[in-house]
Amino acid sequence: MAEPQRVVAALPINAGDGFRQAMLKTAIETIPQLTEENHSIWKDKMTALLKLRGVLQTLDDTTLALGESDNAELVMLLLSKMDSVTHNNVITADNRDSAQKIWRSIKDRFASSQSSNRARIFNDFLYVKFQEDSVESFVTDIKVAIKKLVDVGIELPQDILAYLVLFKFPNSLQTLKRQIMHSDKELDVEFVCNHLIQFNNESRAESSQEKGLPTEAALFSSKNKVHSKNRASDKSGNQQSSSKRCRDGYHNPKQDGNHSSDNCWHLHPEVAPEWWTESQAQWKATQTQLRANKEKSKENYFISLLTLWIDSGDPKNRIILDSGASAHIFNDERFFESLQLGEFDFIKTGKQGATLPIKGKGSVLLKWGDRVIRLENCLFVPAIVINLISAGELDSKGCTLLSQKAEFVVAKDRATVMRGRINNGLYSVDNPDSVGSDSVYPLANVCEGSDQETLREIHEKFGHPSIQRIESLIDKKISAAEKARFECKHCILAKITKQQFQERSTLASKPFERIHLDLIGPIKPESTLKHRFILTVVDNHSGYLAGFPLVHKDDTTDILINLIESEKNRRGYYPSTVFSDGGGEFVGNRVDKGYGQLIGNCQEVLARDS
């Protein structure tokens, strides 16, 4: 016969014990509702409350029975401190009336040592992401995740956990990562987190001192920009830096009393360790690439604007309001009220090496009826196809832009400056009635010019597009027959990518004597086995075509060597000639090494254009 459960009562709370009542009330109010994410915090607070109430041991030990009133109180407490999702996952018809069963169900749900739950908790730890704008939150998430690991019985060595945390660091923190890994102190998670928080605080302090304002968020995302500014100021001779860190070519004696200029790696990179030198080189290369990408984006902007004007703009509208232009740009002297000619700077276009020279600077006068505006500091660029009014320059003069129903108005002090239409994001300014000094030149004469442009001049001016592409921009006086007969020698030569094969070619005398290689891909979508490329091999003698699936292009060499060796074993000879298109997968150091294994037996292995 089973032993009856011993009933244990909770510690009574006397009405006069005000302090104890206040503690219980505060504890209940501060316990959050149990969710899928906050079990660790919830368990600590709930355990402390149950200890204070004297019922924790009874909840854990099912051989002890709770009194009816105590059980009702604890059921109400546990149910009130879990959200609806957790309630649906934990509460069942069997346990909803028993505080002990509910407590056991919560532990099984969140702290079970079963393999499925352990795998879930471990995955949560692995997928904690580094937050560049909130380092403190990242550290908190790591500590909570590790605590969950311990709760389910996963206790990894501290150094392994530290390495897993370091693995989450972004590339911008590689220097800090290596400093921590090469430290002579014992490596653990606490050590890593302390260094990370210290580094974050120093970065925030530096940024705050440079901007003159306090900053609340860590500036890892803009750290490179801050460093660039610091280095630029150092090179210009301004070494009165408020930063505590040494910079490239500059040593701060106030950084550390034990850090002398003789030991400063920024002044003496030749004595720096290899990992530091590599980190600096990587950082500088990244900055160079960022500057190049920024410059390239500026260059491509003009081509994008020109393409948009050709596709969407009205050829009769020759003035565009452009937010990307840093200055007003015009292509005819007759726009200018006053003009200073000379050799100035140039404007970069999207084509490599192609520039538009600036031939002068001055003020432009535009007139619409009784409304006249003067634009100062305008650039004279005869080679530019369209005229640009800088929206930024207008904004600096106090102008505002209002747009509605595909039309826009630029106004200042409630007076209209100019109007225009919007088509596919292109802001075309209405043509002025007249332009230039004393407004004597009608815009029609300025746009058309004194001499009619030939079809070839129009074709070359717009960057050699097809005649169909610029049909709307071609003068109506040019006949359809002339358009049909038009040919551009430069366009024809540009389309010729290969010279004709002048030598005579004969078929191979036997199979596998001469083979042709080519690579197809990348193919999207990839296969179920992650294959994205196909190596094709054609036998010149029989015309037989074989295809070999590849995961990476780098697999070409291994597949080719295995093919040649297996065919040699079967036929007794190597191919005399191997043709390819000279792609990177068929040439280079790795392929040369692979061919070196065969060169002693092969008659000839060539990689040449077919």
Quickly count: other Cβ atoms within 10 Å of residue 550's Cβ. 23
- Is the CB of residue 374 less than 8 Å from the CB of residue 381? no
The Cα angle at residue 76 between residues 72 and 79, in degrees rounded to 5: 135
588 in the Ramachandran plot: left (φ > 0), alpha (ψ -120 to 50) or beta?
A: left
Quote the longest CA-to-CA distance of the chain. Answer: 118
Distance CA 526, CA 34 (A): 43
Distance CA 388, CA 367 (A): 16
* Model pLDDT for residues 19-36, shown as the tens digit of each residue: 777 777 787 888 888 887
Q: Is 131 exposed, middle or buried (0-12, 13-18, 19+ CB in 10 A)?
A: middle
How high is the pLDDT of residue 476? 73
Distance CA 610, CA 600 (A): 25
pLDDT over threshold 70, residue 233: no
Distance CA 110, CA 107 (A): 5
pLDDT over threshold 60, residue 502: no
| Strand partners for 400 | 411
How high is the pLDDT of residue 240? 41
Q: Which of 337, 333, 336, 324 is nearest to 297 (CA)?
A: 324
* Token duo for residue 122: 């471990």
Length of the chain: 610
Mean pLDDT of all residues in 44-72: 81
How high is the pLDDT of residue 214? 41
pTM, entire model? 0.32
* Model pLDDT for residues 334-363, shown as the tens digit of each residue: 888 888 888 877 776 555 556 778 888 899
Domains, the chain:
6-110 (no CATH), 118-211 (no CATH), 300-450 (no CATH), 514-596 (3.30.420.10)
DSSP string, 535-583: EEEEETTT--EEEEEESSGGGHHHHHHHHHHHHHHHHSS--SEEE----
pLDDT over threshold 50, residue 235: no
- For tokens 């401190």, the residue is 81
* Model pLDDT for residues 120-166, shown as the tens digit of each residue: 888 888 888 887 778 888 888 888 888 888 877 888 888 888 888 88
* Model pLDDT for residues 379-438, shown as the tens digit of each residue: 888 877 778 888 888 888 888 888 888 888 988 888 888 888 888 778 888 888 888 875
Q: Which of 61, 76, 50 is nearest to 5 (CA)?
A: 61
How high is the pLDDT of residue 497? 56
The more confident residue out of 227 and 69 is 69
Mean pLDDT of all residues in 451-470: 74
End-to-end Cα spacing for the chain: 94
pLDDT over threshold 70, residue 306: no
Distance of CA 383 to the CA centre of its chain: 36
Tell me which H or E stretch contains 189: helix 189-211
State the amino acid at position 492 in one-letter form. Answer: I
Distance CA 324, CA 538 (A): 52
pLDDT over threshold 80, residue 520: yes
How high is the pLDDT of residue 495? 65
Distance CA 321, CA 581 (A): 48
- For tokens 């009619």, the residue is 452
pLDDT over threshold 60, residue 577: yes
How high is the pLDDT of residue 226? 39
